[in-house]
Amino acid sequence: MNSPILMLPALLIAIATAPTTWATEREINDPVKKGEYIFNMGGCASCHTATDDQPLAGGLPMETPFGVFYTPNITSDESTGIGAWSNADFIRAMTKGEAPDGSHYYPAFPYTSYSKMSRQDLLALKQFLDKQTPIVSKNKSHELAFPFNIRPLMTLWKLVNFDDAPFQANKDKSQAWNRGAYIVNGPGHCGECHSPRNLLGGIKTDGLLTGNPEGPEGESVPGLTMTKDNRVSQWSDEDLLFSIQIGMTPDGDFLGGSMGHVIENSTGRLSETDLKAIIEYLRDIES
Amino acid sequence: MKKEVNTDLIFRGARLAFLFTGALLTGVVVAHGGATGVVKERMEMMKDVGDNMKQVGAMIKGQAAFDSMVIAKHAQAISDAAPQIPELFPSDSLHKPTEALPAIWEEWDQFSALSVKLGDEAKKLQETAQGRDKRAISRQFAKLGKVCSSCHTDYRKKEEK
């Protein structure tokens, strides 16, 4: 099903409250600005900024069934951040889930999604991060229960739960659909919260984007697939756009919780073209 | 034999009545969310604010005729409601079915500052609406919505029904 998204009054373009809204991200030539857009697609600040006075210095606790993870410093500080990383180090971390020293990252860092990102986008993102103010702040060690505290076991976890294949465009679908699929499954990493997880914390691939009753911070996360029982399937394209652009649902309520951070740091800052692409994809997710 | 059929019918009737009463009771619970006292009061107040936002939102989305004077009225209703918010959240009023989070009382200053901001942004929307400039109204509406969002992000845990 290909539902053409109705043109909203042009004024909607103006209402995005984000400091910068781009006509389309592909028209941005300056790599640092493009990187900033990619940064917003990922909503990186939601997890890597624990306090506003220390942007991107990490330290946010993430409580999970396996223990508490603390997000790391991704500022350009060379000793405690990632300022000393090469492009290759950065791409390896994002797409293979491996630190420069070869150790494995835990999937609380969603490289499971970022592995779908294009090399070009990753490099632009790195250029943006390199320009951010360095902050000296040592990473806090995770507090994990046995056996999850044995990092090398992640090799086994990855074998079962990690598909590092890059994004594959579907030629039978429109360009916008593919753009939406890329954003949702790659940089936007929507499936990380909107999909159920198995006992080992891996995403259940057969339930991708069908929701997670036991989501992060005890929240029940709704599905994004447009099945009849899902209230969002009844929403118009304008309603869906409004909900991810400013957070308002058709009944006048405003989304909060984790999604509030997503709207603030990510979807509320994306171009309307990209938001419409996301909606076109969600209307017609391949199952 | 006849008697047996009757008993059966009575039994069925009773079961139906029981189910019916159950359905009625469920209906009542859903309608009021089972809320009582101050929790009920504030849920209704929030619902009112939401209804006002909904009407304005529909106009901005092009789903309803755009009328800036009506928008001004809705904005005023929100700015009138905003100052009541702090008193509707007495300390630790967390009984079910509240969706309020304890963080409200841990960060009372930020929480009550948001209610002031809600009133300010609603007031500004009311003023902007007098100018009838659709773009400016939409922009101010988004700013107002941002206050709703930021409060719901930090201080509410939505219970999915």
- Residue B10 shares a structural domain with residue B73: no
Tokens representing A76 are 């350009």
Say how many C-beta atoms besides its own lie within 10 A of residue B160's C-beta: 10
Using the Cβ of B73 and the Cβ atoms of chain A, whether some distance falls under 8 Å is answered with no
State the average pLDDT over residues B74-97. Answer: 95
* Yes or no, beta carbons of A257 and B151 under 8 Å apart: no
Task: Provide the greatest CA pair distance for chain A.
Answer: 55
Mean pLDDT of chain B: 85
Note the pLDDT of residue B148.
97
* Yes or no, beta carbons of A254 and B57 under 8 Å apart: no
State the average pLDDT over residues A237-259. Answer: 95
Choose the closest CB to B50 out of A15, A252, A257. Answer: A252
The answer to whether residue A164 scores a pLDDT higher than 80 is yes
**Between these two residues, A114 and A12, which has the higher pLDDT value?**
A114
Q: Which range among A17-21, A63-67, A110-114 shows the weakest confidence by mean pLDDT?
A: A17-21
State the average pLDDT over residues A229-248. Answer: 94
Candidates B153, B118, B47, B158; CA nearest to A256 is: B153
Could you tell me if residue A3 is inside a domain?
Answer: no
- Residue B73 shares a structural domain with residue B42: yes
**Nearest residue on chain A to B154, alpha-carbon basis:** A257
Q: Which range among A1-15, A134-148, A256-270 shows the weakest confidence by mean pLDDT?
A: A1-15
Mean pLDDT of chain A: 91
Domain span holding position B1: 1-32
> Cα–Cα–Cα angle for A172, A174, A178, nearest 5°?
90
Could you tell me if residue A197 is inside a domain?
Answer: yes
- Residue B44 shares a structural domain with residue B77: yes
What letter represents residue A84's amino acid?
A
Q: Regarding beta strands A143-144 and A61-64, do their DSSP bridges make them parallel or antiparallel, or are they unpaired?
A: unpaired
- Residue B148 shares a structural domain with residue B75: yes
CATH of residue B131's domain is: 1.20.120.10
* Yes or no, beta carbons of B153 and A220 under 8 Å apart: no
The answer to whether residue B5 scores a pLDDT higher than 80 is no
Note the pLDDT of residue A26.
60
pTM of the model: 0.84
Say how many C-beta atoms besides its own lie within 10 A of residue B86's C-beta: 16
- Residue B68 shares a structural domain with residue B117: yes
Could you tell me if residue A7 is inside a domain?
Answer: no
A contact set with B (CB within 8 A): 8-9, 11-12, 14-17, 218-220, 222, 236, 238-239, 242, 246-248, 250-257, 260-261, 263-264
Note the pLDDT of residue B158.
82
What are all long-range contacts of B38-44, with beta carbons under 8 Å and residues at least 24 apart? B38/B88, B38/B89, B38/B90, B38/B93, B39/B93, B39/B95, B39/B96, B39/B97, B39/B98, B39/B100, B41/B88, B42/B85, B42/B88, B42/B89, B43/B98
Residue B54 CA to residue A251 CA, distance in Å, equals: 6
* Yes or no, beta carbons of B143 and A242 under 8 Å apart: no
By percentage, how much of chain B surpasses pLDDT 70?
78
Note the pLDDT of residue B129.
97
Residue B112 CA to residue B120 CA, distance in Å, equals: 13
Could you tell me if residue A1 is inside a domain?
Answer: no
State the average pLDDT over residues A172-199. Answer: 97
The answer to whether residue A11 scores a pLDDT higher than 50 is no
What letter represents residue B88's amino acid?
L
The answer to whether residue A235 scores a pLDDT higher than 90 is yes
The set of residues, in sequence order, having a beta carbon less than 8 Å from that of B44 and lying 6+ positions away, is none
Distance from CA of B104 to the nearest CA of A (A): 14
Residue A77 CA to residue A60 CA, distance in Å, equals: 18
* Yes or no, beta carbons of B135 and A256 under 8 Å apart: no
Task: Provide the greatest CA pair distance for chain B.
Answer: 82
State the average pLDDT over residues B86-106. Answer: 94
- Residue B47 shares a structural domain with residue B22: no
Could you tell me if residue A186 is inside a domain?
Answer: yes
CB A23 within 8 A of CB A271: yes
Distance from CA of A256 to the nearest CA of B (A): 4
Choose the closest CB to B146 out of A17, A220, A239. Answer: A17
Could you tell me if residue B48 is inside a domain?
Answer: yes
